[in-house]
């Protein structure tokens, strides 16, 4: 089974059971300041898990593109990926544990031909105030699972959420593939890291709401949120050893072999790093991210530069990334048409960044030579200087060690690793912090600011350039940040007109009207949409008089008078051809 075959089989299975197919959301979360990228299929659906009505109904299914960046340095082994796809199905207050478990088992058994004896499952063992999830275990037993195939674990392994400090959460049941190897000991189970068990699927049962006092209150609307990793599933369905052997990577690796004149087996790790990083980069560029010094753009730049270094290690010199991106666009566009639609921009941006890094690399090499000169008789480079080469110029530690050895030097690797570990911990802490709140934080203040972005967008079109479109939005309880395409600064007099206009609309107390209409009708009304490929057949359109018409899923006030006074605090450059406005409401 190839990748598209698995996508189709999954979606069709759930469509036959009353689920509506929804397209993948962008990798850039819409109106969510708390996470850099879409990290799971449930992320774009948080408002609907909280009770907002979804245009597609109560049963949904899709395959979602995702990015996770906490382990970029681990990419190259058998399991870590930066970009991956998540197959998911959801029940929004419809079916619950029994049906969800039955659906999952039937798909594994009847569609993927996995035998019951090849599976193991887990359930929540309970804790003070939350009972043991014996219901889930009973449903698995009803399907013929033995006691020795069902394992109970605590919060670390079998609980999800809430996304922030409060909100929907609940136990989950995880499904694992058992490869038949002998157990490593009497306590060996799915939580063991010995390699006997591989997670296939996670079904989250959102049955509680954690309130501000830390209490878990049963939810009136109980939801199901499931996720199955496409790459990993494709791997074991086809009996392969790792994800890089699947059809998702064979074309990319084949092009790298052609460009390098080497075989994949000659340097497996380098081939994998380049393939993973350029796949992720191509998708990020396809969703409008541009390389920059901050946020999503910084991650993109880091991926491209790291890929460039490992391409050099494979002997691929010159500017060649576009050739690999062309393979990715060709092979993935059937599932993600935005790649084909945006391919010219993708190729231009990736080539420009590759050329820029080649110039930066030369600066890094000069800095390396300076470090050698500054060392005097000492034949060891200190960890701080080596880390700066990594952090500023994108030099992998392996490259610095190789260059140092050629000069008869060593690297204080322990010092470097300590600094690198500190850097990772800060990054992960930031990622953890960034996931708190988010779309789940539909507070009064964030709702006012979110609606204000619609008015700001409309004012920019009216007073600056009618071709302006939103490129990103970041909203906290304190302020909004709005990115838009423009190749010049917005002049002070233009900012004054924008601010005055938004406040006029606010003072007019215009109703904010929500309609669920066919996507084609929304297009005819010229509704503004941030990501044109993510919408389903029925969409939500928010209209504010004759001022603004937008496709949107975020929280909104009922009329503009609820927003309050609007004030622009700053206008600045965000990236090449992208400007940024920060504003507040009072």
What fold is seen in the domain 3-243?
BirA Bifunctional Protein; domain 2 (3.30.930)
With 0-12 / 13-18 / 19 or more C-beta atoms within 10 angstroms meaning exposed / middle / buried, residue 51 is middle
pLDDT value at 163 more than 80: no
Report d(CA 458, CA 512) in Å as an integer. 14
pLDDT given at position 539: 79
What fold is seen in the domain 442-585?
3.30.980
Report d(CA 258, CA 279) in Å as an integer. 17
With 0-12 / 13-18 / 19 or more C-beta atoms within 10 angstroms meaning exposed / middle / buried, residue 109 is middle
Report d(CA 228, CA 199) in Å as an integer. 9
Report d(CA 457, CA 471) in Å as an integer. 11
pLDDT given at position 64: 95
3-state helix, strand, coil in the chain (%, to 5): 45, 20, 35
pLDDT value at 101 more than 90: yes
Q: Copy the structure tokens of residue 497.
A: 């007109």
Q: Which of 112, 185, 194, 120 is nearest to 158 (CA)?
A: 120
pLDDT given at position 431: 45
Coil, strand or helix: which one is 316?
A: coil
Least confident of 80-94, 157-171, 421-435, 515-529: 421-435
CB 176 within 8 A of CB 197: yes
Radius of gyration of the chain (CA): 25
Question: What residues contact 164, with CB distance under 8 A and at least 6 apart?
Answer: 34, 436, 437, 438, 440, 441
pLDDT band with cut points at 50, 70 and 90 for residue 446: confident
* Mean pLDDT (the chain, rounded): 88
pLDDT given at position 276: 97
pLDDT band with cut points at 50, 70 and 90 for residue 437: very low
pLDDT band with cut points at 50, 70 and 90 for residue 298: confident
Report d(CA 240, CA 246) in Å as an integer. 7
pLDDT given at position 396: 67
pLDDT band with cut points at 50, 70 and 90 for residue 164: low
For residues 5-29, average pLDDT: 94
pLDDT given at position 441: 54
Coil, strand or helix: which one is 396?
A: coil
pLDDT value at 177 more than 60: yes
The model's pLDDT over 318-371, given as tens digits with 9 standing for 90+, comes to 999 999 999 999 999 999 999 999 999 999 999 999 998 888 788 888 899 999
Strands 20-21 and 59-67: parallel
pLDDT value at 114 more than 90: yes
Q: Can you give the length of the chain in residues?
A: 586
pLDDT given at position 535: 54
pLDDT value at 216 more than 50: yes
The model's pLDDT over 275-295, given as tens digits with 9 standing for 90+, comes to 999 999 999 999 988 888 777
Question: What residues contact 80, with CB distance under 8 A and at least 6 apart?
Answer: 71, 74
Report d(CA 90, CA 226) in Å as an integer. 6
pLDDT value at 533 more than 50: no
Q: Which of 542, 574, 569, 570 is nearest to 447 (CA)?
A: 542
Phi/psi for 81 (5° steps) reads -135, 145
pLDDT given at position 435: 40
Least confident of 77-81, 178-182, 368-372: 77-81
The model's pLDDT over 25-48, given as tens digits with 9 standing for 90+, comes to 899 887 565 678 888 888 888 788
The model's pLDDT over 249-261, given as tens digits with 9 standing for 90+, comes to 999 999 999 999 9
Distance of CA 337 to the CA centre of its chain: 18
For residues 494-501, average pLDDT: 96
* Residue that is written with structure tokens 């708190």 in the block: 436
Q: Copy the structure tokens of residue 376.
A: 């005097």
Coil, strand or helix: which one is 517?
A: strand
Report d(CA 448, CA 586) in Å as an integer. 10
Report d(CA 424, CA 422) in Å as an integer. 5
pLDDT value at 266 more than 90: yes
Distance of CA 36 to the CA centre of its chain: 7
Percent of the chain with pLDDT over 70: 94
pLDDT band with cut points at 50, 70 and 90 for residue 427: low
**Domain residue ranges in the chain:** 3-243, 247-364, 375-440, 442-585
Phi/psi for 155 (5° steps) reads -60, -40
- Count of C-beta atoms within a 10 Å radius of residue 283: 27
For residues 240-255, average pLDDT: 94
pLDDT value at 434 more than 60: no
The model's pLDDT over 541-582, given as tens digits with 9 standing for 90+, comes to 899 999 999 888 777 899 999 999 999 999 998 777 889 999
Strands 566-575 and 578-585: antiparallel
Least confident of 150-159, 210-219, 317-326, 388-397: 388-397
pLDDT value at 430 more than 70: no
């Amino acid at each position: 089974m190839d990748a598209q075959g698995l996508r189709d089989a999954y979606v069709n299975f759930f469509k036959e059971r009353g689920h509506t197919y929804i397209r993948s959301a962008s990798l850039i979360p819409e109106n969510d300041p708390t996470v850099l990228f879409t990290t799971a299929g449930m992320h774009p659906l948080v408002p609907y898990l909280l009770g907002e009505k979804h245009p597609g109904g109560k049963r949904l299914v899709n395959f979602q593109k995702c990015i996770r960046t906490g382990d970029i340095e681990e990419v190259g082994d058998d399991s870590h990926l930066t970009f991956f796809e998540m197959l998911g199905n959801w029940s929004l207050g419809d079916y619950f544990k029994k049906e969800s478990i039955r659906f999952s088992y039937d798909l594994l058994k009847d569609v993927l031909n996995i035998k019951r004896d090849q599976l193991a499952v887990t359930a929540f063992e309970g804790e003070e105030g939350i009972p043991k999830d014996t219901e889930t275990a009973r449903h698995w037993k009803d399907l013929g699972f033995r006691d020795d195939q069902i394992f109970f674990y605590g919060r670390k392994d079998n609980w999800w959420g809430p996304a922030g400090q409060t909100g929907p959460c609940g136990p989950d049941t995880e499904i694992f593939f058992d490869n038949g190897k002998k157990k490593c000991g009497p306590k060996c189970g799915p939580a063991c890291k010995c390699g006997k068990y591989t997670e296939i699927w996670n079904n989250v049962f959102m049955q509680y709401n954690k309130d501000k006092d830390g209490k878990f209150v049963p939810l009136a609307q109980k939801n199901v949120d499931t996720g199955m990793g496409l790459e990993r599933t494709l791997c074991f369905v086809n009996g392969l050893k790792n994800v890089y052997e699947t059809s998702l990577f064979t074309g990319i690796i084949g092009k790298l072999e052609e460009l390098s004149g080497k075989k994949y087996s000659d340097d497996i790790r380098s081939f994998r790093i380049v393939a993973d990083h350029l796949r992720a980069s191509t998708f990020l560029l396809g969703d409008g991210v541009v390389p920059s010094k901050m946020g999503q753009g910084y991650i993109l730049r880091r991926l491209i530069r790291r890929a460039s270094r490992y391409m050099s290690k494979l002997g691929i010199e010159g500017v060649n990334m576009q050739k690999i991106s062309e393979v990715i666009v060709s092979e993935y566009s059937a599932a993600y048409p935005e790649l084909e639609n945006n391919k010219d921009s993708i190729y231009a941006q990736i080539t420009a960044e590759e050329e820029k890094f080649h110039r930066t690399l030369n600066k890094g090499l000069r800095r390396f030579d300076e470090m050698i000169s500054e060392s005097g008789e000492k034949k060891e480079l200190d960890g701080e200087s080596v880390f700066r080469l990594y952090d500023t110029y994108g030099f992998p530690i392996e490259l610095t060690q190789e260059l140092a050895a050629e000069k008869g030097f060593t690297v204080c690797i322990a010092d470097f690793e300590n600094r690198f570990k500190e850097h990772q911990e800060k990054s992960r802490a930031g990622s953890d912090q960034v996931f708190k709140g988010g779309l789940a934080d539909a507070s009064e203040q964030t709702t006012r600011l979110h609606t204000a972005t619609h008015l700001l967008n409309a004012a920019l079109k009216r007073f600056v350039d009618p071709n302006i479109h939103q490129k990103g939005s970041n909203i906290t309880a304190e302020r909004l940040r709005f990115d838009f395409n423009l190749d010049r600064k917005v002049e002070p007099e233009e900012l004054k007109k924008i601010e005055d206009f938004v406040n006029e609309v606010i003072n007019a107390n215009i109703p904010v009207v929500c309609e669920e209409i066919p996507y084609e009708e929304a297009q005819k009304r010229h509704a503004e949409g941030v990501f044109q490929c993510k919408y389903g057949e029925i969409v939500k359109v928010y209209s504010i008089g004759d001022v603004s018409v937008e496709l949107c899923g975020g929280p909104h006030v009922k009329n503009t008078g609820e927003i309050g006074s609007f004030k622009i605090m700053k206008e600045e450059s965000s990236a090449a051809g992208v400007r940024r406005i920060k504003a507040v409401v009072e």
